[in-house]
Amino acid sequence: MPFKNLRYIIIFFILILISIFLFSDLKNFFTLGYVKENLINFRLLFKENVLLFSLIFSLIYIMSSALSLPFATLLTLLSGYIFGLTLGAFIVSLCSTVGASIAFLTSKFLFYDFIQKKYKKQLVTINNEFINEGIFYIFALRLVPVFPFFVVNIVTSLLPIKLSTFFWVSMLGMFPATLVYVNAGNELSKINSFSDILSFQVLISFSLIGILPLTIKFLLNKNRRKK
């Protein structure tokens, strides 16, 4: 099958999955109100079959992350309530990174060749910059909670970044926010809005941590030029 046709099929399949979620009753099961009303039921299901519940939860989380569906935050909170901080943070960290990597690979397959060929001259400097220092940029983008994760997945896929690099840097960059949300899941029954979780001070802290590696890199480069 020609790659061009395969690309169209993948795009069509993705649109179908997103449409099923958006225009069906499925979305009603992924609301804060519904989850809070069924916390006891979720915990009972987990106790009845730990492995099966964990597997289904992980697959749903990976799918939501890969398709950028708007309930990853809710699942992260639920993981804290069901699994606890340690196991919940591990599951969410792994699943969110796997989902992001799937989105990264899909975007790269669909758009990389087209973008690189069409804007070859304009991307020369950017490509070289990311080959040498892409780790710092990805880490900062993941840690600073300003850019939606799906935007980061798509943008980085259009640049010459290895999957292995994308994977471990994304996992590291997303981990602080993962810990905050999983820990907040312990009090899920008391949360009325996602804005209750991330205070202004926490957002500023993440931003400063994200900017730090870029600042260090800038100072090192400046020092090298002087020498």
Is residue 144 exposed (0-12), middle (13-18) or buried (19+ Cβ within 10 Å)?
middle
pLDDT at site 101: 94
Portion of the chain with pLDDT greater than 70, in percent: 73
Q: What is the dihedral of CA 218, 221, 223, 227, to 10 degrees?
A: -170
**Using an 8 Å Cβ cutoff, are 111 and 157 in contact?**
yes
Could you tell me the residue range of the domain that residue 13 belongs to?
3-226
Note the pTM of the prediction, 2 decimals: 0.78
Task: List the structure tokens of 58.
Answer: 């992980």
pLDDT at site 88: 94
Q: What is the pLDDT of residues 55-102, one digit of tens each?
A: 999 999 999 999 888 788 889 989 999 999 899 999 999 999 999 999
Cα(157)–Cα(163) distance, rounded to whole angstroms? Answer: 9
pLDDT at site 7: 75
State the total domains in the chain: 1
Task: List the structure tokens of 131.
Answer: 């080959």
Q: What is the pLDDT of residues 170-225, one digit of tens each?
A: 998 888 888 888 888 877 766 666 565 555 555 555 555 556 556 656 655 554 55
